[in-house]
Structure 1
Amino acid sequence: MRAVVISEPGDPGVLVWQELPDPRPARGEVVIDVVASAVNRADVLQRRGHYPPPPGASELPGLECSGVIVEVGENVEGFRTGDQVCALLAGGGYAERVAVPWQQVMPVPAGVSLIEAAALPEVACTVWSNVFMAARLRKGETLLVHGGASGIGTLAVQLAKAYGSHVLVTAGTAEKVRRCLDLGADEAVNYREEDFAERFAGRADVILDIIGAKYLPRNLDALAIGGRLVVIGLQGGAMGELDLGRLLARRATIIATGLRARSVDEKGVICRGVVDNVWPLVGAGAIRPVVHAAVPLAEAADAHRMLEAGEHIGKILLVR
C-alpha cells in the first residue's frame, strides 16, 4: 500500500508519500481499504513532534477514515468483508489500508456518501463522549461551543440543537459566525470583536472548550450555576490560573478529557453510543457533515497548510 509518512518533525513538507507493507488484521481487527480520511488538529501536532501516537498504535497520522472492509481477523463481531464502514482510529488513516479493532468500526450512516462519512467518526465520537456522556447536556440546557466553525464545532452545534439545547458559539470571522447560525446556533460571537464572557455571562450550562488556559477565567464567567466546563484542547496554552472561590460559587465542574489514548473497550462504548444516538439523526437529515474541501491523500501537505491557515469551515478530507 501507499501511505503518508512523517519523515521527521517539521512543517507540512515532511509529509512523504511512500510505499509500505500492507497491514494484516490481528485478532479482533478488520482491515479497511480506505476511500477517505480527514485532517485533524492532532495530526498537525503529531507532524510537529508534539503528539506521539499511544503505545502500539500506528506511527502514521490519521484518526478517522471511511472505506470497505477487505479482511476480517479472528473474534470480530458484526462485520464482514465488503461492508462499507467508517472508523475511529488511534493512527494510520493517511494510508490506502488500515487495520483497526472492530469495536471502533461503525456502519456508514444513512444519507451520506462513503466519502462524506470520513468527516464524522472523530468529531461525532468527540462530541458525544464529552458533551453528552461526560458533561450530561440535557434538553433545555445551554451549550457554549468554542470554535463553532471547526469540524468539532459544526457537529456540536447540530447535535445539541437536535437534542433540544440552546446553542451559543464563538468564531473568528463574520462568515464563520454566519455559517454557525445557519447550522442552528442561537447566538454567535466573533471573538475578535466581542468578549464572549460578557455576552454569555452566567448562561452556559456546558462549555466545550478547545482553547484551554487562555479562556479559563472567562469560561468561569460564562458558566451558569452548576455548569460543566469540558476542556478538550490546548490551543491557548496549558498553564492557567484558576480562582477556586469562583469555581465554588458557581458549584461548577471542570472536566479534562482525551479520546486517542483510551482503551479499545472505552472507544467501543463511545462508538456504539454514536451509532445508537447520532447516526439516526444523520439519517433523518438533522445532522450533516460539513466538508470544506477534499484533497488527494498524496497531497496531505496541502491539506495541512489549509488547516493551519485557519480559514476552513468544517472538515478537510483526504480522498483516494
Structure 2
Amino acid sequence: MSMIEAASLPETYFTVWSNVFQRAHLSPGESFLVQGGTSGIGVAAIQIAKALGHRVFATAGSDEKCKATEKLGAERGINYKTENFVEVVKELTAGKGVDVILDMVAGSYVPKEINCLADDGRLAIIALLGGNSAELDLGQVLRRRLTVTGSTLRPRSVAFKAKISTELQEHVWPLLVSKEIVPVIHQAFPLEQAAQAHAMMEEGLHIGKIMLTLD
C-alpha cells in the first residue's frame, strides 16, 4: 500500500466503523443502504459492509456512478436523480426495507429514510448536506422501534479513537491485507492546487477520495 493510499484511510474508515458498526450496530444477516455511495466514505462503507457479508445498496447521482457502486459491492446502485430510492429498496427487500442507513444528506431525506427502514431499523446521520432540520414522524419511530443517531468523529477523545482503531485492526485490516477491500483514490493534487481539488469535490464528479500531496 502506498503512503497516499494509507493516508486516505483513517478519517474515512474510523467514520464508517464508528457510525455503521458501533452506533447503528449493523449485525450479521442485516441489510444496509449507503447514501452518497461514490464519496470517500460511501466507497469505504460499501466495501467494508459487503466484505463482512451484508446485503448493500447505494445511491449516487448518475448511472455511471451507480455502476461504480455495484463494482464496489453494492447489489444495486440507485440513481437518486431519476429513481425513488425508497421504492427501489422496498421492491428489492420484498417490502421490508433496510436495517441500517448511513446518511450524509439529512434535511428532506430523513422522512424518506424513515419510510425506507425495516422495523427496528437504524438511521446514522454523519453530515447535513441537505440541511440541519427535518420533519420526523415520531409515531413511526415508536411503532416500529426505529433509532435515529448521529455523530462527528473529530471532537471525540483519543481513547475513543483508540477503541475504533483496535476494532478496525481486528475486523477490517485483514480485509485490506487480503485485498478484499482496497483504497479508492480518484485523484491526488499537490498542495498548491488545493483550490482545484475543492472545485472537483464541489462538482461531485469524483468516485472515491480526493487527496492532497506534499513534496
TM-score range, shorter chain: over 0.9
- What displacement does 1:216 show? 0.8
| Pairing partner for 1:146 from 23, 35, 51 | 35
- What displacement does 1:200 show? 1.4
Deviations 1:144-201 (A, max 9, x none): 0000011000010010011110001100011110000001101111000001011113
Mind listing any 5+ residue stretches in structure 2 that lack a counterpart? 91-95
Distance 2:138 2:102 in 1: 20
Mind listing any 5+ residue stretches in structure 1 that lack a counterpart? 1-111
Distance 1:236 1:133 in 2: 24
Q: Say which SS state the counterpart of residue 115 (structure 1) adopts.
A: helix
- Tell me which residue corresponds to 2:23: 134
Distance 2:186 2:52 in 1: 25
Q: Does the CA contact (< 8 Å) of 2:8 and 2:211 recur in 1?
A: yes
Distance 2:167 2:186 in 1: 26
- Tell me which residue corresponds to 2:181: 287
Distance 2:144 2:41 in 1: 27
Q: Does the CA contact (< 8 Å) of 1:223 and 1:250 recur in 2?
A: no
1:229 aligns with 2:114: no
Deviations 1:109-131 (A, max 9, x none): xxx21121111111100111111
Q: Does the CA contact (< 8 Å) of 2:194 and 2:212 recur in 1?
A: yes
Q: Does the CA contact (< 8 Å) of 2:108 and 2:135 recur in 1?
A: no
Distance 1:169 1:281 in 2: 21
- What displacement does 1:247 show? 1.2
User: What is the TM-score when the length of structure 1 is the normalising length?
Assistant: 0.64
User: What is the TM-score when the length of structure 2 is the normalising length?
Assistant: 0.94
- What displacement does 1:275 show? 2.1
1:298 aligns with 2:192: yes
- Tell me which residue corresponds to 2:4: 115
Q: What aligned pairs does 1:156-175 form with structure 2 within 5 A after superposition? A: 156-175=45-64
1:267 aligns with 2:161: yes
- What displacement does 1:272 show? 2.0
Q: What's the C-alpha RMSD, in Å, of the aligned pairs?
A: 1.0
| Pairing partner for 2:88 from 199, 211, 214 | 199
- What displacement does 1:203 show? 1.5
- Tell me which residue corresponds to 2:93: none
Distance 1:172 1:279 in 2: 30
Q: What aligned pairs does 1:90-109 form with structure 2 within 5 A after superposition? A: none
Q: How many residues are aligned here? A: 209
Distance 2:2 2:104 in 1: 28
- What displacement does 1:232 show? 0.6
- What displacement does 1:271 show? 1.8
Q: How high is the sequence identity, in percent, across the aligned residues?
A: 49
- Tell me which residue corresponds to 2:204: 310
- Tell me which residue corresponds to 1:190: 79
Supply the AA of the counterpart residue of 1:181. E
Supply the AA of the counterpart residue of 1:114. M
Q: Does the CA contact (< 8 Å) of 1:210 and 1:235 recur in 2?
A: yes
Distance 1:249 1:190 in 2: 30
1:245 aligns with 2:139: yes
- What displacement does 1:298 show? 2.1
Q: Say which SS state the counterpart of residue 57 (structure 2) adopts.
A: strand
- What displacement does 1:276 show? 2.2
**More deviation, 267-276/299-308:** 267-276
Max Rg structure: 1
- What displacement does 1:140 show? 1.4
Q: Does the CA contact (< 8 Å) of 2:19 and 2:150 recur in 1?
A: no
